Structure 1
Amino acid sequence: MSGGVAPIPHSSNEKPSFNFRQSTLTFQNLNAAALALILAASGMIGPQDAAFVFFSSFYMFFLSKIAFPNLSTTPEPPIFAAHQRLLTLYVSVGALIGLLLPVAYIAHGVLAGDKESVKSAAPHVFLLASQVVMEAVTFAGGYSLPIRVFVPVAYNAMRMYAILDWLKCEMMKVHEGEYGSSRRLSVGIGLVMVNMVFWGFNLFGFLLPFYMPKAFKKYYDDEGKDKDS
C-alpha cells in the first residue's frame, strides 16, 4: 500500500509535508516482517508464495537498475498529496480488513483446531505482510515511482489468487458439512468476501486505472525535463 496504494498499511504514508526520505524501517514494518517470517516458518505457506516474494524482490532490483532508475537524488513528491486524509483512511481500512482481522481469524482457528481455514487464510496474510515490507523498502531505498507502483500491483494481483483459494476452502467446508462452528464458518466466508471485494477494487479500480498511469506520467515527464536540462 504505497504512495497511492493500497492495500498494504504503513508504506502508504506519504504526507504533503514530506521533504525527506525515510531511511529505516518502522516498528510497523518490522512487525509485518516478523509476521511474514512466522507464517513462512509455520509451514502454512506454499512454495509458490515464498518463491514469488523471493524472485519479485530480485526483479524489482533489476527493474530499478535497468528499466526505471531513480532520476533524482531528492525524494519525489507524493502523487495524491491533496487527498492525503482520504488515502490514510483507505489504507487503514485495508490494514484492518487485510491484516488485523485475518490474523485474528487465523489465531482463533489455531485454538479451535480449524487447520484447513488457517492454512487457506495464511497465504493472503503472508503476501500482504511481505508487500508492506517491500513497499517500505522502496521508500527507504529511494526507488523510482514505477518501482513503487510495481510492488503493490504485483503483490495485489498475486493475492487475488490466494483469496480465491481461501474462498474455495471456505465453500468446500459448507459443501462437505464439516465446518465445526457455524459462527466461525460465517465469519470466514464474510471475511474472505470482504477481502475479495476490497482488494479487487484496489487493483482494478485504483492501482491500474489511476495510480499506475499517474506514476508513469510523472516519471517520464521528469525524465524529459532532465534530458532538456
Structure 2
Amino acid sequence: MSGGIGPCSDIHLPKEESTEEAGKPQRRRFFTFRQLNVLAVMIVLSASGMVSIEDLGFVLFSIIYLYFISEAAFPQTNPPWTGSVFGQTNRTLRLYMLTSAVIGLLFPLAYIFEGIVEGDKEGVKAAVPHLFLLGSQVFMEGVASKDRFSLPVRVFVPVSYNTKRIFTLAEWLRSEISKEQNRRLYVGRGLAVANMAFWCFNLFGFLVPVYLPKAFKIYYSNHKHNKD
C-alpha cells in the first residue's frame, strides 16, 4: 500500500472525480486502489486476533457518526466545494507527506509482519492498533472525499483518528520500554518514539491550529455565499 498523503489532512486520498482526459470520461469507482490496499491490511490484522473490540468499535462508530454529522450539522453546500484547502502542494509539503507515509505506514507494516512471520505476535501486538487505525483512517478519508460530504465532515476523519491513535501510540511506547533486551527491541522502540513525536506534532501543530480553522473558514464562507 502507498497511503498517499495530501495537504488537506495527514493521510489524504485524492477525490475520485469524473473528469475527462484525452477526450475520454473516467468512470468513478466506489473504492480506490489505496482503499482496497488498506482494507486488505485491516482484514489481515483483524484476523490475526491482535485488534481489540474497542478499536473495531471506534471504526464502526466513526462510520455512523460521519453520516450523522453530514445530515445533522454540516450538510454539503450547493454546489459542492471541490477545491483544496492549501492550494497547490509545494516541495516542503510533499516531503512532509512522504515522511508521514514512511513513518506511520510502511515501517510499522514491515515491523509487524516480520514479527508475525517470526512467530513474535506478542512482541508486535502493541504496534498493531496504530497501524489498524491508520489504515482505517485512510479508508475513511476515501469515503469522506465523496461529493456528498462537506469539508467539516472530511475534517472529522483525520482529527478524530489522529486523536485516537495518540492513546494507542502511548500504549505502544509503554510496551516497548518495558520489554526485555532483544534484537528487535531498538527497532520497535525507535518506531514507537518516532510515531508518537510525529503524530503529536501532526495533531497539535498542524491539524488543530492550521487545517481545522482554514477548513471551517472555507466552509462557512462558501455556505454564506450560496445563501446570498
Aligned residue number for residue 220 of structure 1? 220
Distance 1:91 1:158 in 2: 20
Please state how far the C-alpha of 1:3 moved relative to its aligned partner.
4.5
Q: Please tell me the residue identity of whatever aligns with 2:182.
A: G
Residue 145 (structure 1) aligned to one of 148, 151, 167: 151
Please state how far the C-alpha of 1:85 moved relative to its aligned partner.
4.1
Aligned residue number for residue 86 of structure 1? 92
Mapped pair 1:186 → 2:190: no
Contiguous gaps of at least 5 residues in structure 1: none
Aligned residue number for residue 54 of structure 1? 60
Distance 1:62 1:220 in 2: 19
Distance 1:203 1:147 in 2: 17
Aligned residue number for residue 135 of structure 1? 141
Structure 1's consecutive aligned runs of 4 or more residues displaced over 6 angstroms after TM superposition are none
Q: Does the CA-based 8 Å contact 1:153-1:207 persist in structure 2?
A: yes
Contiguous gaps of at least 5 residues in structure 2: 20-25
Per-residue Cα deviation, 1:50-82 (whole angstroms, up to 9, x for no partner): 000001110011000110010033442001113
Aligned residue number for residue 71 of structure 1? 77
Aligned residue number for residue 97 of structure 1? 103
Per-residue Cα deviation, 1:61-117 (whole angstroms, up to 9, x for no partner): 100011001003344200111334433332221111111100100111123332223
Distance 2:137 2:6 in 1: 9
Aligned residue number for residue 166 of structure 1? 172
Q: Does the CA-based 8 Å contact 1:2-1:148 persist in structure 2?
A: no
Q: Please tell me the residue identity of whatever aligns with 1:200.
A: C
Distance 2:157 2:58 in 1: 12
Per-residue Cα deviation, 1:96-150 (whole angstroms, up to 9, x for no partner): 1111100100111123332223211111000000000100111134411101100
Distance change >3 Å, CA 154–CA 40, structure 1 → 2:
same
Deviates more, 1:83-92 or 1:150-159: 83-92
Per-residue Cα deviation, 1:11-58 (whole angstroms, up to 9, x for no partner): 1x47xxx89699433212210111111111211001110000001110
Aligned residue number for residue 110 of structure 1? 116
Q: Please tell me the residue identity of whatever aligns with 1:226.
A: N
Deviates more, 1:57-66 or 1:67-76: 67-76
Q: State the secondary structure of the residue aligned to 1:82.
A: coil
Aligned residue number for residue 22 of structure 2? none
Q: Does the CA-based 8 Å contact 2:81-2:222 persist in structure 1?
A: no
Q: Does the CA-based 8 Å contact 1:23-1:141 persist in structure 2?
A: no
Please state how far the C-alpha of 1:196 moved relative to its aligned partner.
0.6
Deviates more, 1:161-170 or 1:75-84: 75-84
Mapped pair 1:4 → 2:8: yes
- The alignment covers a number of residue pairs equal to 216
Structure with bigger helix share is 1
Distance 1:130 1:145 in 2: 19
Normalising to structure 2: TM-score of the pair? 0.87
Aligned residue number for residue 39 of structure 1? 45
